[in-house]
Amino acid sequence: MTATETSPVAAPSRAASAGPARRLPRTRTVVVAAAAYLIAFLFLFPYLVMILTALRPQRELREPAYLPTEFAWENFVNFWSGGLSGNLLVTLQVAAGSTILVLLVAMPAAYYTARHRFRGRTAFLVLVLVTQMFQPTAMLVGIHREFTQLGLADTIWSLILVNGGFNLAFAVWILNAYFSSIPRELEEAAFIDGTGRFGALFRITLPLAAPGVVTALIFTFIAAWNEFVVALTLTTSPERQPLTVRLNSFIGQYQVDWQNLFAGSVIATIPVIILFALIERKVVSGLTAGSIK
C-alpha cells in the first residue's frame, strides 16, 4: 500500500527535473543559429554595399543614404559596351586552362605516389609541399625574364602556365591523400575481371575520388580567377589582360570610378558563385574526407 502511494509523487518530480534539460538544447540551438546568421551577415555586408554602389548614379556616390533614389542599370551596360567582356573571356580561359592543366598533371602524380612505394617518395612529396610555400611575387622578375626569352610574354599561355604551376602542389597533396584512402582491393578485383590499370583508374578510383578532384578543381579555378599580380606583370596589351587587371584601370590618380568598378566586380563574382553553388556538396565532402572514421 505504501509503494502504490509514493509512485505517483515520484513521477512528476522526475518530469520536472527533466524539463530544463530538454529546454537547454533549444536555447543552445537558438544561440548558435543567431551567431551563424550574424557571422554570415558580416561576410555578406561588403557584397551588399558593392551591389548598391554599382547601382548608384554618379551624383549619389557621396550621399549618406544606403539605398539610391534611382537605380543606374547603365553601369552594368557600360561593362559590356566598354569592351570588358573580352577581358572576362580571357579570365575564363586562364582559369579553365590552368584548372585543366593542374588536373592533368596532378591526378597521375598523386595516383602513382599513393599506389607505389618507391625510393625518394617522401622527398618528392616534401618537395611538392615546399613549392607551395613560395609566393609568385617573390619570383616575378625571374618569371618575367623567362617568359620573355621564350617569347611567351603578354600571352594567355604564360598566365595559364604560371597559375597552373603555383596551384599544382595543393592539388597533388589533396589527391594523394584521397587516393590513399581508397582500398587497393577494389582495383585488384577489377584486375581479376580483366580490367587494365587505366580502366580501373577511370572506372573505379576516380569516381570514388570525385570529391577530392572537385575540391582541387574549385580551389585552382578560384585562385586563377582572382590572380592579379602575375597578370599585371606578364601582360601589357589591354585586350590580353584578365578582368582583375582591367578593373584596375577604373582607379585613376585623382579619382576612382566607383560605380563602374563595383559593377565589374559584381559581374566578375557571379561565375564563381554559380560554380561553387553547383559543386558545394562535393567540396565539403572533399575537405572533410578522413575526419570521420
141 occurs within a structural domain: yes
For residues 212 and 216, give the distance between their C-alpha atoms in angstroms, rounded to a whole number. 6
pLDDT of residue 94: 93
- Model confidence at 284, pLDDT cuts 50, 70, 90, reads low
Say yes or no: 83 and 169 in one domain. Answer: yes
User: Count of domains in the chain?
Assistant: 2
Q: What is the mean pLDDT of residues 200-206?
A: 80
60 within some domain: no
Per-residue pLDDT for 288 more than 70? no
33 and 86 within one domain: no
Is residue 268 domain-shared with residue 159, that is, in the same domain? yes
* Long-range contacts of residues 179-187, Cβ cutoff 8 Å, at least 24 apart: 179/110, 179/111, 179/114, 179/115, 179/205, 179/209, 179/212, 180/114, 181/289, 181/290, 182/208, 182/209, 184/115
Distance between the two ends of the chain, CA-based, in angstroms? 54
What does the block give as the cell for 182?
Answer: 581508397
Give the Cα separation of 108 and 103 in Å (integer): 9
- Looking at the fold, whether 20 and 89 belong to one and the same domain comes out as no
How does 169-185 read in b/e, with b if 16+ C-beta sit within 10 Å?
A: bbbbbbbbbbbeebeee
Same domain, 166 and 42: no
Q: Same structural domain for residues 87 and 226?
A: yes
Say if 105 falls within a structural domain: yes
Helix (H, G, I), strand (E, B) or coil at 251: strand
Place of cell 500500500: 1
CATH of residue 210: 1.10.3720.10
Which of 229, 274, 219, 207 lies closest to 99, judged by CA?
219
Range of the domain at 31: 2-54
* Whether residue 130 sits in one domain with residue 6: no
| Contact status, residue 93 vs residue 156, Cβ threshold 8 Å | yes
State whether 10 and 121 are in the same domain: no
What is the arithmetic mean of pLDDT over 167-172? 88
Mean pLDDT across the stretch 40-52? 86
- The band of 200, judged by pLDDT with boundaries at 50, 70 and 90, is confident
Do 50 and 94 share a domain, yes or no?
Answer: no
Which of 44-53, 91-100, 143-152, 275-284 has the least mean pLDDT? 275-284
Distance CA 19, CA 13 (A): 10
282 pLDDT tier (thresholds 50, 70, 90): low
Residues 153 and 15 in one domain: no
Among 64-78, 132-146, 151-165, 261-275, the range scoring the smallest mean pLDDT is 64-78
Q: Say what the pLDDT of residue 286 is.
A: 52
Q: pLDDT tens digit string along 115-135?
A: 877 787 778 778 877 777 777
Same-domain check for residues 186 and 255: yes
- Does a structural domain hold residue 38? yes
The answer on 113 and 254 residing in a single domain is: yes
pLDDT in tens, 216-254: 888 899 999 988 888 988 888 888 889 888 888 777 777
Under the banding of pLDDT at 50, 70 and 90, the label for residue 293 is: very low
Average pLDDT over residues 9-21: 49
| Residue 188 predicted with pLDDT over 70 | yes
Contact 213, 174 (CB under 8 A): no
Mean local confidence (pLDDT), 98-103: 93
What b/e readout covers 29-62, taking b as 16+ CB neighbours within 10 angstroms?
eeeeeeeeeeeeeeeeeeeeebeebbbbeeebee
